[in-house]
Amino acid sequence: MTPLLETRALTVTYGERRALRPTDLTVAAGESLAVVGHNGSGKSSLLRALAGLEPAAGGEVILHAEACHHLRTTVEIAYVPQRSQARWDLPFTVGDVVAAGRPQRWWWQRPSRDDRDVVTAALAAVGLASLAKRPVTELSGGQAQRVLLARALAQQPDIMILDEPLTGLDVTTADAVINLLGAFTRAGGTLMCALHEIDVARTSFTKTVALVRGTVVANGATTDVLSIDGVDRIFTRRAAA
């Protein structure tokens, strides 16, 4: 089966520091991939490079459009950053932010009927339909995270890439986000997500990649990578080496 996305010796550097060493990955359509590791292990660098937001110092990212379940000529990728990386001091409403996720639409253009319907559906999916006109400056942390997720859903992507989407969320909101991501993959979407929550990765993701100091130290079925011995090797023994 042709993978939907693959990397070949993908490398990311910041000045003299190598954040991601040569990495080979394959992800098939409909798979859910958890990326785990300590802070500074290279998770964000990997995800940003996959999303095309971080230039590769070496290697390449290959998107196989023919592997899309709906046979598009391009692969649509939505990226959800960490909440702390987004600007929340701008004079926009919740609806404005979500509408910005619509593909091939500039911020100054009025949304079409289809745009409005998609935005309404995305906000309803994250439980924020009633807040469309609320300024983003008035949102709680959990609401802001769900707005970022709604913006990604409004893009109607083939692949959704999320950087630690559960950080700082209460249990109820985190469960709602997990359920929403599960619905995305059940509908045929492909998911890649940086996580610190090992139990969530075990129960909700089919594959896991583990990083230590920019190096992939485990890559495979989640049940194998995140076994008790696997977690000990990734987070304890290797971290102490």
Q: How far is it, in rounded angstroms, from Cα 149 to Cα 165?
A: 9
Q: What is the pLDDT of residues 15-41, one digit of tens each?
A: 889 999 999 999 999 999 999 999 999
Q: Is 143 helix (H, G, I), strand (E, B) or coil?
A: helix
Q: Is the pLDDT of residue 240 over 60?
A: no
Q: Is 14 helix (H, G, I), strand (E, B) or coil?
A: strand
Distances from the Cα of 117 to the Cα of 98, 120, 123, 186, 188, angstroms: 12, 5, 10, 22, 21
pTM of the model: 0.89
At residue 60, φ and ψ (nearest 5 deg) are -155, 160
Please give the DSSP secondary-structure letter assigned to residue 182: H
- The predicted structure's pLDDT at residue 115: 87
The band of 107, judged by pLDDT with boundaries at 50, 70 and 90, is low
Delimit the domains of the chain by residue range.
32-41+76-208+216-240
Topology (CATH) of 32-41+76-208+216-240: Rossmann fold (3.40.50)
- The first and second tokens of residue 40, run together, are 């500074």
The band of 89, judged by pLDDT with boundaries at 50, 70 and 90, is confident
Q: What is the pLDDT of residues 56-88, one digit of tens each?
A: 999 999 998 776 665 556 788 999 998 777 778
Q: In what order do the strands lie in the sheet with 77-80?
A: 77-80, 159-163, 190-194, 32-36, 207-212, 215-221
